[in-house]
Structure formats: C-alpha cells, structure tokens
Amino acid sequence: MLRHDELLGDEPGERLSALGFELIIGHTTNDKQLRDYPGIVTTMNRADHTETIRLAELGAFLRSRRESLSPAAAGLPPGMRRRTPGLRREEVAMLADIGTAWYTWLEQGRDVQASSGVLSALAGALRLDGAERRHLFALAGRQAPDAVAPGNHIEASLLRMLDNLRDQPAYITGRRWDILAWNRAAAALFGDYALLPHEDRNLLRMVFANPAHRALLAEWDDLARAALAMFRSDYGRHAGNPAFEQLLASLNRDSAEFRAWWPRREVLEPLSGIKLLNHPRQGRMSFEYSSFALQDGSERRLTLYTPLADDDSAAKLAALLSG
C-alpha cells in the first residue's frame, strides 16, 4: 500500500499524474484526508479514469510549454538566477491575468474547468502556435475559437493537388460548406461555380436553392435530407455564429423543404456513398464520393467524385472535359 509521502510530490498531486490519481489525490494534504477516500483505486470507474488522464495530460502539456519558454521570448526580464528552466508559474499566471494558485491547479491536473477565454489567454502567454493552441483546447475538452483556424484561405499546394485530379471532380469546402476551390472536372460536371454569386457558392444552397443543381440530382429528396442532417452535425459546433445564422435565414427564405425539415433536428455523421446524376448533356451518370477532412483545425474538407462503370460514367465525364 502506498504511503502518503509516496503519493505526494513537491506539490500536491504532481507525482500522481503517471498513476492517474491526480483528480482526487491532488486535493489531499494529510493522511486523514486520504483515509476519507476508502477504496480510492478500486471504486474509480472508467469514465473517471479517462477524465483523470485527460486532465493530467493537460497539466503536463502546460508545464512542458512553460518550461520551454524563456523569459526573453515571453517579453520578461531575466531576473535573478532560476532553479528551473523556462518561466515560473507565477509569471505565466501574470501574463495570462489569472491567479497563480488557479494556474497551479491546472498544471496539477485538477478539475477546475478552464473557460475558452482563459485557454486563449494561456495560449497567448505561452506563445503557442496554431497546432499547440488547438491541442490545448482539445485537452481541455473545448472547441478552439474559429479565429485560430485558417478559415477560407486555400493554399497553393491544395490548388495544385486539385488541378492534378484531372479525371475526378473535386472541391474543397469550408466549415459552413462554402465551396472554396474546385477543379476543372467539377466545373464540367456540376457547372462553373465561378459564375455564381459568392453567397450562392455553398453546398447547402446548391441543393436547396439552385433549381439547375436540384434537377441534376437524380435522387434529390433522399440526398437533400441526408445533406441537411450532416450539416446539422457541423452546425452544432457553430450554433449562434452570425455567418451560419445568415445562411440558415437565407435557406429558410428560399426553400420550402428546408423550412419543413430543419426543425426535425435530424443528425448524421459525414458519409461516403453513391451520387446519381441526370446530366443535361450526358444523361444518367454515377459517381462514388468520399470526403476527407484537412487536419489543420480549419474544418475544411476535400470531396472527391470517382466515376463508376455504371452508366458509362467515365466516358461521359471525358466527353464533358473534351467539350
């Protein structure tokens, strides 16, 4: 059985992180308090254990970033000789404008529930880059603010990749399902998005408020309902965002089906599947589509369409491209 002095490190809870006990033991300061938690290991359920590990990881990440940041890099004078590398806890707390004790509890893995504002302040104080900032928010169990993501910018490397997908229609969409970039095959198959007003260059508006695109979709009813349910899954992360609410208002104005279906609150995760088209020039065409998330926190997606042997779709796509 572990003794109290074996459980506690230099500060309460610190030596327990590797054992996964910080959430409870981190608050204890004497043997009597330990005895108040009989069976502390055996009664810990799986959910508690997972949460404890997450909080310990959050604390360890904060400590690693603090210790790797020099006073000069943080805009502080070097001061007197330091016993530990990097910044002191009180310096991080000062830079983030939070209490030292509260920040110490975060590093110890205590369940203090840091808000998004506090996390943003800590990210700034610790000079975190985009990837580190998103990791901090993920460890804290919160969605990183939209401001940290690349948004609707499309890098030159992504444009080159799209251009090289010559026989597969493809496009990249943003978090609101706006169509940000596309290749020549997508323009040949679905129409040139560049000819649309910017506000109509959106997948949901294409489905519900563009008559020509609606006529192109052979199984519009099923596809539209599935698309709406998948969009709602994404919308949950941005409910109240003015750009999203503006899109919903425009769809509510322009589509009777949207007005009828949106209140049902149906939700689906993004799917791959088959899309059947009735093309005005080539007739029936079949494509398998897949969607891939860009792992940069932007919530952008690449969607690819592969022509199937059914309906001689590859040859019909080639004819559209050659014309």
> What does the pLDDT look like over 45-68, one tens digit per residue?
555 778 888 899 999 999 999 999
Measure Cα distances from 284 to 61, 287, 289 in Å.
Answer: 54, 10, 16
Structure confidence at residue 143 as a pLDDT band (50, 70, 90): confident
Phi, psi of 286, rounded to the nearest 5 degrees: -125, 135
pLDDT confidence of residue 180? 96
On the question of pLDDT at 168 being above 80, the answer is yes
Q: Return the top range by mean pLDDT from 72-86, 113-127, 262-276, 277-291.
A: 277-291
Phi, psi of 305, rounded to the nearest 5 degrees: -120, 125
Task: Enter the pTM of the model.
Answer: 0.66
Per residue in 218-259, pLDDT (tens digit) is: 999 999 999 999 999 999 888 898 999 999 999 999 999 999
pLDDT confidence of residue 79? 67
Nearest CA-CA partner of 169 in 309, 304, 297, 1: 304
pLDDT confidence of residue 146? 55
On the question of pLDDT at 120 being above 60, the answer is yes
In whole angstroms, what is the distance from residue 105 CA to residue 122 CA? 14
Greater pLDDT, 146 or 320: 320
pLDDT confidence of residue 3? 36
**Positive or negative, the Cα torsion across 32, 35, 19, 99?**
negative
Structure confidence at residue 101 as a pLDDT band (50, 70, 90): very high
Structure confidence at residue 28 as a pLDDT band (50, 70, 90): very low
Strand, helix or coil at 310? helix
On the question of pLDDT at 31 being above 80, the answer is no
Structure confidence at residue 271 as a pLDDT band (50, 70, 90): confident
On the question of pLDDT at 215 being above 90, the answer is yes
On the question of pLDDT at 80 being above 70, the answer is no
Nearest CA-CA partner of 94 in 81, 85, 107, 103: 103
Percent of the chain with pLDDT over 90: 61
DSSP state of 178: B
